[in-house]
Amino acid sequence: MANDYFQFKQFNIQQDKCAMKVGTDGVLLGAWVSTESCHTLLDIGTGTGLIALMLAQRSQAKIDAIDIDEDAIEQASENISSSMFANRIQVYHTPFEEYVTKVYYKYDLVVSNPPYFADSLKSPDTKKNLARHTDTLPLSLLLSRSKSLLAPDGRIALILPYQRGNELMEIILKNKLNIVRKTEVIPLPNASPKRLLIELSTNLSAPCLSDTLVIEESRHQYTADYIKLTKDFYLKM
């Protein structure tokens, strides 16, 4: 059973009200995504507020964080208000489609650890379904609407299951986006990739920087690369 809280170096995450607890995916995305030259950021599906807080720690940007779930918004608001970054993060309880029609400025970075189970068996827990499944926010809609919110040199950053790579490429081409950075996340040496970290841009001529990240050498023995990536957040590895 997950703890009701998770202590990071510069903030604390309470998670008793959220269906989706602190996990490796959120930490990876928050630590990996490029934040340089970012003044305005949007975190879609903020959950506990983890990624918004990580990005606040890594930048001086103004950050908007949205979620469709009322309990998640309450939890994120509590976590953010108790942090040193509260003056730079604003939380909104709203569906993404509705938010797109109301926001009046553009973002340098739109980031999301999105729901990504498209066809799998659902849980009896309605809140977990909302957080995990794509019914309310399909990937195609997420990318097309996010693109409309980008500043001229803005980017979209996601973490997805590796097996959704082909689907992602089709959506990227349809929306005239370009992968400018990609990391294949591998759980253990010699294992197959499990996740894709992706940064997208509207600049179709920009080159793509591609690499891999192995998380563990063996069970609970983290690699030097993973420790280097996350060292500013975890209390200990």
Total structural domains in the chain?
Answer: 1
Q: Stretch 180-195: mean pLDDT, rounded?
A: 97
> Any residues with CB less than 8 A from the CB of 4 and at least 6 apart, and which?
14, 15, 16
- Indicate whether 7 belongs to any domain: no
pLDDT in tens, 191-232: 999 999 999 999 999 999 999 999 999 988 999 999 999 999
- Indicate whether 2 belongs to any domain: no
- Indicate whether 8 belongs to any domain: no
Contact 168, 196 (CB under 8 A): yes
Per-residue confidence (pLDDT) for residue 107, from 0 to 100: 98
- Indicate whether 146 belongs to any domain: yes
Domain harbouring 55, CATH code:
3.40.50.150
- Indicate whether 15 belongs to any domain: no
Q: Stretch 39-48: mean pLDDT, rounded?
A: 97
- Indicate whether 40 belongs to any domain: yes
- Indicate whether 236 belongs to any domain: no
Q: Quick one: 125 exposed, middle or buried, by C-beta within 10 A (0-12, 13-18, 19+)?
A: exposed
State the pTM of this model. Answer: 0.90
Give the domain extent around 114: 23-230
